Structure 1
């Protein structure tokens, strides 16, 4: 049996933050990835292991064999990206024979991860959700239902390599653009996997999240934030400026949902305030480390450290979060803020004042500087190779 540690499976900035949280407790960390190398540059990660990813037919076998090859038996396995969450949850019995895992099985977790099931469960619990339309998978012009535009199209689950999965949200402002967007999305992931909803007005300032660690259907620690700025500014692929706030409505709704599935593990539940009726509407659930996970420790609620304690059967005591504490993804927040300024939605002094509350950065840390130094050139390289070059090749 190898010495006890943690295995982070996939992810990027959230995995980096979790590795730092575990490293502060002297926990050995291994990182398994087929995508971003960023967390592997942290001094808190001892081993980086490349693997073929969740789509490979031998993905499960790889994880089982990796425990033997790298002496990871008995280590805590934390899936840190959507496809990895599903793989681990669906194969919980097999993986739990070698690793320690704090996560429900797929029969329960699918009610949080699969959006149609999520919205059904929310409706059954009386939770507010955006208006969601029932669309025929094979849609033609005559089948377009009565939609109130604008609407958004989303994949039914996170993760994947399709364009809509990477974009997360596609907007349509009229019937023609909707039909085109729907057919394109259906061609990528199948019409039955496309969710169509009303667009709730507002940007990042209207978005809130509930962040927590749960164990056996009960919260161990929890707090709420406002995802004040995001990139892109209209439909955030990622948050860029997040600050701790008190939003009790998010706590009440998230507790009801997570208790209904008996949740265990890390979780972020996303909401958006609808100014039209004053409600907070459920958008998404992420049962894994999220991009702004580094804010947890800075806000005084170290969910990563508490996850380790929980996995080892030790009780954790949660402190009250420090309201106003903020996290920033500097490079992308600068771009988002500039766009907001050009629209008149953000003043220069307000942007500069926001730095005063930042206690955590997406990649940089004074005691672990290397990831922060390589994050910008790494992002630029990934954009060049994975997006721009693919567009050029596809056009040719």
Structure 2
């Protein structure tokens, strides 16, 4: 039965199923569970690619079938396309694709001609998602279209890094240049803060002849605010659903996945995001991370994810529309009802928010604009009408030999202490 927070229930095309597409080994992904629930609660048949039969998404009551397909993210695109086509034949009717990672979004965009028969997805310039997922490509687009972003350097050699280090202002941030670092050994493990010239040169010696990194301006958290934009853009890059919010906590601290966030109305930010997407001609779901730099009063774009964000269920309008529902409605010829976003609503990822809270309190950091009291709470895992994903997450999270608890402990220790001079520490972008 369709469920909506508005007066008129949403009416999706229930003859068109959805398929959650994920490449790589990350079974505890609450975004995929959220997408299965979001469309499944409206009566849309849901399918998902899963690592095994006992992931949280695979056991959801709203999932009709899990296609067990372990991938690493290092496969050739042609193999991934063949696998998608095989799944499409087994579903037996056109399905809306819902990618949950950059690999999936890029593969779909770059193979639209082959995938366009058995699947439905927004049509976009084939090379645009890969460029947006690339740190260098995104920065170049920002410069081209006048969108603020952190000052960034793109060294081509170790000598370039030495010259850069002679005049650089520390601390700074190092990131992998391209999105698909899982295809080879990454230069850095995610976003890395570097505090001294000596620390940069020490790390750079391991980056090879052609460093696959960017070196970016450090935006201190004491002078900044983390904002997020989730939206769905239809044809002609028209925003059919657009939401803004504040990231309260992330894990790892100040650099990782959203652990706690609020919906906060921000017309200026919404306009900035809509204008940029219109300029580059993107269609589909977007998940943007921006940092408001109070030193110059500008929102600086850090990440443009050309796919559904894991915390998308934070955002829903008064008609019951989130970005995944908006995409399904639009691609199946339904109208997308308008409505105000749920200002003050809060989103919590249960398994990572507690360690994030401890780390943030140790550092003394508080988030501006976070309401004192939430107007409502959306939990990432726990849902009264679908308990098995939550229980499965707990079982996998705490089972003997699982890496998750050790990684939380290790990151909390590292994240709550200042980085020693010359060594990488927790990033803040």
State the TM-score, normalizing by the size of structure 1. 0.86
How much does 1:71 deviate?
Answer: 2.4
Structure 1, unpaired ranges of 5+: 390-396
1:295-323 Cα offsets, whole Å, 9 max, x none, are 12387542222211111011112211021
How much does 1:248 deviate?
Answer: 2.4
Identify the residue that residue 293 of structure 1 maps to in structure 2: 312
How much does 1:168 deviate?
Answer: 2.5
Identify the residue that residue 93 of structure 2 maps to in structure 1: 73
Identify the residue that residue 134 of structure 2 maps to in structure 1: 114
Identify the residue that residue 272 of structure 1 maps to in structure 2: 291
Return the alpha-carbon distance in structure 2 between the equivalents of residues 238 and 95 of structure 1. 30
Are 1:224 and 2:244 matched, yes or no? yes
How much does 1:132 deviate?
Answer: 0.4
Identify the residue that residue 102 of structure 2 maps to in structure 1: 82
Question: Residues 260 and 140 (structure 1 numbering): CA distance in 2 closer, same or farther, change over 3 Å?
Answer: closer
> In the alignment, is the contact (CA less than 8 A) between 2:15 and 2:44 conserved in 1?
no
Are 1:19 and 2:36 matched, yes or no? yes
Return the alpha-carbon distance in structure 1 between the equivalents of residues 179 and 300 of structure 2. 19
Are 1:180 and 2:180 matched, yes or no? no
After superposition, the CA RMSD in angstroms is: 3.1
Return the alpha-carbon distance in structure 2 between the equivalents of residues 321 and 154 of structure 1. 33
How much does 1:385 deviate?
Answer: 4.6
For 1:61-210, list aligned pairs within 5 A.
Answer: 61-68=82-89, 70-139=90-159, 142-145=162-165, 146-158=167-179, 160-161=181-182, 167-184=189-206, 186=207, 191-202=210-221, 206-210=225-229
Match for 1:29 among 46, 70, 73? Answer: 46
For 1:47-58, list aligned pairs within 5 A.
Answer: 47-53=65-71, 54-57=73-76, 58=79
Question: Residues 87 and 180 (structure 1 numbering): CA distance in 2 closer, same or farther, change over 3 Å?
Answer: farther
> In the alignment, is the contact (CA less than 8 A) between 1:203 and 1:234 conserved in 2?
no
How much does 1:107 deviate?
Answer: 2.2
Return the alpha-carbon distance in structure 1 between the equivalents of residues 141 and 35 of structure 2. 30
> In the alignment, is the contact (CA less than 8 A) between 1:83 and 1:159 conserved in 2?
yes
Q: Which structure has more RCO (C-alpha within 8 Å, separation ≥ 6)? A: 2
Question: Residues 141 and 266 (structure 1 numbering): CA distance in 2 closer, same or farther, change over 3 Å?
Answer: closer
Match of 1:206, SS? strand
Which one has the bigger helix percentage? Answer: 1
Match of 2:291, SS? strand
> In the alignment, is the contact (CA less than 8 A) between 2:174 and 2:188 conserved in 1?
no
1:327-384 Cα offsets, whole Å, 9 max, x none, are 011232111111222233359xxx9965x54521111111111111222332345983
Match for 1:324 among 325, 341, 344? Answer: 344
Question: Residues 345 and 163 (structure 1 numbering): CA distance in 2 closer, same or farther, change over 3 Å?
Answer: farther
Match for 1:252 among 265, 271, 287? Answer: 271
Identify the residue that residue 420 of structure 2 maps to in structure 1: none
How much does 1:138 deviate?
Answer: 3.9
After TM superposition, which residue ranges in structure 1, 4 or more long, deviate above 6 angstroms?
A: 386-389
How much does 1:275 deviate?
Answer: 2.0
Identify the residue that residue 304 of structure 1 maps to in structure 2: 324
For 1:299-378, list aligned pairs within 5 A.
Answer: 300-345=320-365, 356-378=374-396
> In the alignment, is the contact (CA less than 8 A) between 2:317 and 2:338 conserved in 1?
no
How much does 1:141 deviate?
Answer: 6.9
Count of aligned residue pairs for this structure pair? 380
How much does 1:86 deviate?
Answer: 1.3
Return the alpha-carbon distance in structure 2 between the equivalents of residues 43 and 157 of structure 1. 37
Question: Residues 317 and 258 (structure 1 numbering): CA distance in 2 closer, same or farther, change over 3 Å?
Answer: same
> In the alignment, is the contact (CA less than 8 A) between 2:251 and 2:257 conserved in 1?
yes
